Structure 1
Amino acid sequence: MNEQRLQQTNARLDCIDSLLNQQTPLCYQGGMHVGIDLGTADIQTVVVDDNGYPIAAFLDWADVVRDGIVVDYFGACQIVRQQLDKVEARLGVRPTHAITSYPPGTDPQISINVVESAGIEVSQVIDEPSSVAAMLEIHQGAVVDVGGGTTGTAIIKDGQLQTSLDEPSGGRHVSLTIAGGLGISYEDAEQKKRQGDQTIAPLAKPVIEKMADIVANHINGHQPAAIYLTGGGTLVAGFEAVFQQQFPQIPVVPFSKALYLTPLAIASYGLNGARHD
């Protein structure tokens, strides 16, 4: 990925951060591309215009998905419906189509069912790390997507997806370790993790090292030119340093607002297909 693409992506992530959960009406007329990401720790809806620039973004922390499996179907459907209501309030029009995603190795129909329960048609579905690889236009590399419950890796060679793998180990495991190590509640551990508290780095390190081992197995036999870190789990204090130590010969590329990278990529995937209003 070239430097211009990296800067563009970071600027769009900053934009999402600035407009997150804003329902202030926006005078907008044009195409829209809706991405809905059903994560283990949160559900996000991001809308981009025909140029890929974010115009609406909503996030709800939720405990409705575990390792790619919806454990609270009604709760997931309700959140998606509410976020689409907020999109309508902001943009003045109800989206009719959306793109969604799924962790590699899980059934994509689960995500499709949840999204379509909100009365919107799923136009495309793609696995999470592959959506990021497509948006970043990676020619040779590996995208590591660390969510709340899983670590997924998409390996790209000559611009084509070679394989996409996923294993249980994510931000939830970090929070459990922090909670146990500090003798605090899981909720308090989550807050420390989300705030980037540097004091938790020693506690989180063994879990991050396990994730690095998972990725090492995923890329075994491949030679990625770089490793791109996405997902809220990669924002844990010390994450990038552990990965760079594990892969000293491979550049590790972080994103400061990586929590929003996957839903942005899902929405942006629509730019490659038909445009829907």
Structure 2
Amino acid sequence: MSSIDSKLRAFGELVRQGTIVPQPEWAPGRLKVGVDLGTANLVLSVVDAENNPVAGTSWRSTVVRDGIVVDYIGAVHAVRRMKEELEERLGQPLLRAATAIPPGVHPSNAKAIGHVVESADFELAEIVDEPTAAARLLGVQNGAVVDVGGGTTGISVLRDGEVVATFDEPTGGTHMTLVLAGARKISFEDAEAEKLNHGLERDVFSIIRPVADKMGRIVADFLADYPYVDTIHVVGGACSFKDFAAVLVSHTGRRVIKPVEPLLVTPLGIAMYDDGGQA
């Protein structure tokens, strides 16, 4: 298992179990926080000064849709509650946080997401686009990062460690749920529960495969202008299906790498901002 996968597994256990890494194991320096305001999930991640996971929490929510805050007060209250929960676990205040947006989000919407973080009593450290945050954790220098979220599919192309192009398309996990709900003639909520049920994965994926194919075509069409990209790193909750990476390969003809805990890659990468060595 790679060191990145080990880090992701450790962070996943911290989130699911509601535990923290004991303070004697933290690297010296100030704790850093990432606030991921996703369409389906809000995730707060905490890392130490050397970017090792320390704590995290998540909450199912609909306060943000496709990078747009649709319930500002609800978003602020949710982030504030999650912040207080982690502060109680850690036994100290959390002061600064970064956040992220899908590529191509209008500046006014990006500003609103930053305001949510500040209104939840954080000092805003950074706003980064989601695939770039994922690339930060994955250490991608050359290639593409595809972040398949609840509302959008975002793509960043990197060359020599620099982001040279980004793109975002409003197709994500929510669209999978809508297709499943229509095919099964059930409510959106029941379809979402079925989509997340690992025991039903094979049957569910056979129904939502057209959405995965659309995502594959989106990525293939965008990367047609970047023939030097030979590796795609795919992250985000909507790519959690076992066969999703194979679909991406079939459309792009390129190598596809999917890390463990793909939902948690971007939240952890958001927290890994440069804190300037501040204590």
TM-score by length of 2: 0.91
- Compute the RMSD of aligned alpha carbons: 1.7
3-state SS of 2:271 partner: helix
Query: Is 2:9 the counterpart of 1:10?
Result: no
The 5 A counterparts of 1:1-277 are 7-20=2-15, 22-23=17-18, 27-28=22-23, 30=28, 31-106=30-105, 107=107, 108-196=110-198, 197-222=201-226, 223-248=228-253, 250-268=254-272, 270=273, 272-276=274-278
For structure 1, which runs of at least 5 residues remain unmatched after alignment? 1-5
Residue range with higher mean Cα deviation, 143-152 or 131-140: 131-140
Aligned sequence identity (%): 37
3-state SS of 1:34 partner: strand
Q: Aligned partners of 1:127 and 1:25: how far apart in 2? A: 27
Amino acid at match of 1:42: N
3-state SS of 1:126 partner: strand
Q: 1:226 touches 1:253 (CA, 8 Å); kept in 2?
A: yes
Q: Aligned partners of 2:5 and 2:73: how far apart in 1? A: 34
Shift of 1:13: 1.3
Q: 1:99 touches 1:267 (CA, 8 Å); kept in 2?
A: yes
Deviations 1:96-140 (A, max 9, x none): 101111111113212110000011111111100011112222121
Q: 2:231 touches 2:257 (CA, 8 Å); kept in 1?
A: yes
Q: Aligned partners of 2:224 and 2:4: how far apart in 1? A: 28
Residue range with higher mean Cα deviation, 117-126 or 232-241: 232-241
Amino acid at match of 1:232: G
3-state SS of 1:20 partner: helix
Shift of 1:239: 1.2
Q: Aligned partners of 2:4 and 2:186: how far apart in 1? A: 36
Q: Aligned partners of 2:18 and 2:194: how far apart in 1? A: 28
Residue range with higher mean Cα deviation, 147-156 or 107-116: 107-116
3-state SS of 1:55 partner: strand
Q: 1:22 touches 1:90 (CA, 8 Å); kept in 2?
A: no
Q: Aligned partners of 2:33 and 2:176: how far apart in 1? A: 30
For structure 2, which runs of at least 5 residues remain unmatched after alignment? none
Q: Aligned partners of 1:85 and 1:21: how far apart in 2? A: 17
3-state SS of 2:2 partner: helix
Amino acid at match of 2:145: V
Shift of 1:218: 2.0
Q: Aligned partners of 2:144 and 2:41: how far apart in 1? A: 24
Q: Aligned partners of 2:62 and 2:242: how far apart in 1? A: 22
Shift of 1:159: 1.8
Q: Aligned partners of 1:166 and 1:241: how far apart in 2? A: 21
Q: 1:194 touches 1:236 (CA, 8 Å); kept in 2?
A: no
Shift of 1:273: 3.4
Shift of 1:23: 4.9
Q: 1:32 touches 1:275 (CA, 8 Å); kept in 2?
A: no
Shift of 1:225: 2.2
Shift of 1:208: 0.6
Q: 1:144 touches 1:229 (CA, 8 Å); kept in 2?
A: yes
Amino acid at match of 2:58: L
3-state SS of 2:268 partner: helix
Shift of 1:26: 5.8
